[in-house]
Amino acid sequence: MASMTRTRSGTIPSMETSGHQFRDNTLIVVFGASGDLAKKKTYPALFGLYRNGYLPKDVHIVGYARTKMDQEEYHKRTTSYIKNPNDDPEVAAQIEEFKKLSSYISGNYDDSPSFQNLARHMEAIEKSYQGRGVNRLFYLALPPSVFVPVSKYVKECCYATNGTNRIIVEKPFGKDLQSCRDLLSSLKQSWKEDETYRIDHYLGKEMVKNLLVLRFANVAMGAAWDKHSISNVQISFKEPFGTEGRGGYFDEFGIIRDILQNHLLQVLSILTMERPVSFASEDIRDEKQYLSCSHASFRSSQVKVLRAIPPIKREDVLLGQYVGANGKPGYLDDDTVPKDSVCPTFAATTLWINNERWEGVPFILKAGKALNEAKVEIRMQFKDVTQGIFKDISRNELVIRIQPSEAVYLKLNTKTPGYAFRAIPTEMDLTYKRRFTDTKIPEAYEALILDAIKGDHSNFVRDDELDVAWKIFTPILHWIDGKEGPRPKPSPYPYGSRGPKELDSFIEKLGYKRAAEEYSWPTTNVSNL
């Protein structure tokens, strides 16, 4: 049964907890402990949980990868991204304590002796555990090419028969529809669904979780959430750095598999799905796929929101690849990238949802590496007001900024203060750090690893969801991969720019209108108008 969280302003049923919580006797094994994800996200998240007292009592973390390194090097790497900007001695001491919980062992990903060795290492640690069974959480911070052998050998050699086992697998789950199906069925041979946690860390981000509350706890929002009010929606991911150091991985996958097919599509599905019956994990995950039948006459239209999205057409795609500029290297300058690679590092795609609510509204998903800023946001642009008393005034826009600096702001028109009677654009601004001054927002990976420790699947990806997601993207991915003729050439854009020069016209042809020129942020000086 879902438990309740009581707040001064209301009661929200908390997410369902489907499994038991690991409270003690727990081992967390991080595969790929030498890698980028492990050092940038996994270990900092584990430290965050440790610091805040959320890891199970007497937990031990084992790092595993092929790289040979001693414990000192392992600790150096895995703590290098833990933030302690002011050299706080308390945090420094906690980092030292955290290192003591953790050990490293190297081995291969494809032979049983390596995994038997790991099993012996784990059993030696578990000798000190008291009573009841053991809990083992296996985290695969690895490229998808090794998910299958690792999950198989873990099951064969490292699975606790006297306790609970869980496995966390990272995106991308395959490279297209067929490889995803193959991957899922291979994983299923060793791991049951309730033991498997498919992570898409965007589901752990505060503002992505907030979408459910913003939409369904506010009548004002819900009323405007459809084709009658909304003209177009953009979901954008911008990173100011390139693929430095990850060129080998990236060139095989590209920006669509890295960001759009998973992170941005997850955001889209939560933004557009119908109201779930409850916050229980299966209800939420169902609603991302099924439109609820809120009226008997709609009985024949029980379609899934993701299933209502047809595969993306080639003409709805804009691809880009960054080139060197301002002293920064281009994508092709990376030694691990083939010199003639046409792998896109930027993509904008338009998706259409063929259902009653969203018919005709373009959803533009766009993502790029080496752009001019770090920003992830949802921008819902409303339609024009009825012409007549107003002419050429700015459109309303609801912007949900996922990162950095979480915020929700609504751009609206107001009367120019003073004697004049004309409308000027301004905004109602809910910037979290100004409004909620005493709250720490957990990193997405902290929230999700904690969910896995609790046995809560709410924010993890279900297998049938992946099938639908890949159907939307597979045709254009095959085209980009050259499976259907010559590979499309991405448009070049300078490192640090806004993206390919064709971007503005791509968005404008879908109905997006820029704000009137007098809009200025964060303040407007009326005397200048």
Ligand X SMILES: O=C1O[C@H](COP(=O)(O)O)[C@@H](O)[C@H](O)[C@H]1O
* CB-based contact 347:386 (threshold 8 Å): no
Q: Which is nearer to ligand X, 201 or 401 (CB)?
A: 201
Amino acid at 512: Y
Residues 478 and 489: their CA atoms lie apart, in Å, by 14
Pairing, β 10-13 against β 230-238: unpaired
Closer residue to ligand NDP (CB): 14 or 145: 145
CB of 445 vs ligand NDP, minimal distance in Å: 9
For residue 521, give the amino acid letter: W
Q: Contact with ligand NDP (CB under 6 A): which of 48, 63, 144, 362?
A: 144
Q: How far is the CB of 263 from ligand X (least distance, A)?
A: 6
E strand or H helix that includes residue 360: none
Binding track over 188-207 against ligand X, x by CB under 6 A: -------------x------
Applying CB under 6 A, the span of 32-40, 45-53, 153-161, 353-361 interacting with ligand NDP comes to 32-40
Query: What b/e string do you get for 309-348 counting C-beta neighbours within 10 Å, with b at 16 or more?
Result: beebeeebbbbbbbbeeeebebbbbbeebeeebbbbbbbb
Q: Which is nearer to ligand X, 201 or 285 (CB)?
A: 201
The structure tokens 């407007």 sit at: 524
Choice between 64 and 493, CB closer to ligand NDP: 64
Q: Is 334 in the site for ligand X (CB under 6 A)?
A: no
Binding ligand X (rule: CB under 6 A), the pick from 126, 176, 258, 286 is: 258
For residues 38 and 503, which CB has a smaller minimum distance to ligand NDP in the complex?
38
| Contact yes or no for 65/31 (Cβ under 8 A) | yes
126 binds ligand X (CB under 6 A): no
Q: Say which DSSP state 299 is in.
A: G
Total binding residues toward ligand X, as defined by CB under 6 A:
4
CB of 369 to ligand NDP, least distance (A): 12
- In this structure, are residues 371 and 259 in contact, taking their beta carbons and an 8 Å threshold? no
Among 44, 172, 320, 344, binds ligand NDP (CB under 6 A): 172
Q: Strands 362-368 and 346-352: what pairing? A: antiparallel
Give the nearer residue to ligand X in terms of CB position, either 126 or 239: 239
Nearer to ligand X, 122 or 270 (CB): 270
Q: List the one residue from 17, 25, 26, 34 that touches ligand NDP (CB under 6 A).
A: 34
As a dihedral over the C-alpha atoms of residue 496, residue 257, residue 196, residue 31, rounded to 10 degrees, the angle is: -60
Residue of 60, 75, 121, 263 with catalytic role? 263
Residue 263 falls in the annotated catalytic set: yes
- For 404, half-sphere exposure in the C-beta direction (CA atoms, 13 angstrom radius) is 4
In order of 100, 222, 292, 293, 443, the CA distances from 299 in angstroms are 59, 22, 9, 6, 41
Least spacing, CB of residue 256 vs ligand NDP, in Å: 13
| 436/429 Cα distance (integer angstroms) | 13
Q: Which is nearer to ligand X, 256 or 309 (CB)?
A: 256
> By CB under 6 A, is residue 170 in contact with ligand NDP?
yes
- 172's contact among ligand X, ligand NDP, none, with CB below 5 to 8 A by partner kind, is ligand NDP
Reduced to 3 states, what is the DSSP secondary structure of residue 100? Answer: helix
Binding mask 247-276 for ligand NDP (x = CB under 6 A): --x---------------------------
Task: Indicate the residue whose CB is closest to ligand NDP.
Answer: 35
Instruction: Single out the segment in contact with ligand NDP by CB under 6 A; choices: 3-11, 16-24, 31-39, 466-474.
Output: 31-39
The answer for residues whose C-beta is within 8 angstroms of residue 401's C-beta and 6 or more apart is 207, 375, 376, 377, 407, 408, 409
- Helix, strand, coil share of the chain (percent; to 5): 35, 20, 40
Min. distance of Cβ 94 from ligand X in angstroms?
Answer: 23
Cβ-in-10-Å burial (0-12, 13-18, 19+) of 7 comes to exposed
Cβ-based nearer residue to ligand NDP, 41 or 285: 41
- The residue assigned the tokens 């992570």 is 199
| Nearest distance in Å: CB 246, ligand NDP | 5
DSSP secondary structure of 138-167:
EEE-S-GGGHHHHHHHIIIII--TTEEEEE
Among ligand NDP, ligand X, none, the one that 141 touches (CB under a kind-dependent 5 to 8 A) is ligand NDP
CB of 239 to ligand NDP, least distance (A): 10
Quick one: tokens of 138?
A: 């296996």
H helix or E strand, kind and range, residue 382: strand 375-382
Stretch of 28-36, 82-90, 296-304, 311-319 contacting ligand NDP, by CB under 6 A: 28-36
Residue 36's binding partner, choosing from ligand X, ligand NDP, none, with beta-carbon cut-off 5 to 8 A by kind? Answer: ligand NDP
Which x/- pattern, by CB under 6 A, does the window 197-216 give for ligand NDP? ----x---------------
Return the number of other C-beta atoms located less than 10 Å from residue 158's C-beta.
Answer: 23
Compute the distance between CA of residue 258 and CA of residue 263 in angstroms, rounded to an integer: 8
436's CB contacts (< 8 A; 6+ apart) are: none
Smallest separation, CB 68 to ligand NDP (Å): 9
Span 56-115, contacts to ligand NDP by CB under 6 A: 65-67, 109
- Interacting residues with ligand NDP (CB under 6 A): 32, 34-38, 40-41, 65-67, 109, 141-146, 170-172, 201, 246, 249
Q: What is the set of active-site residues?
A: 263
* Chain positions contacting ligand X, by CB under 6 A: 201, 239, 258, 376
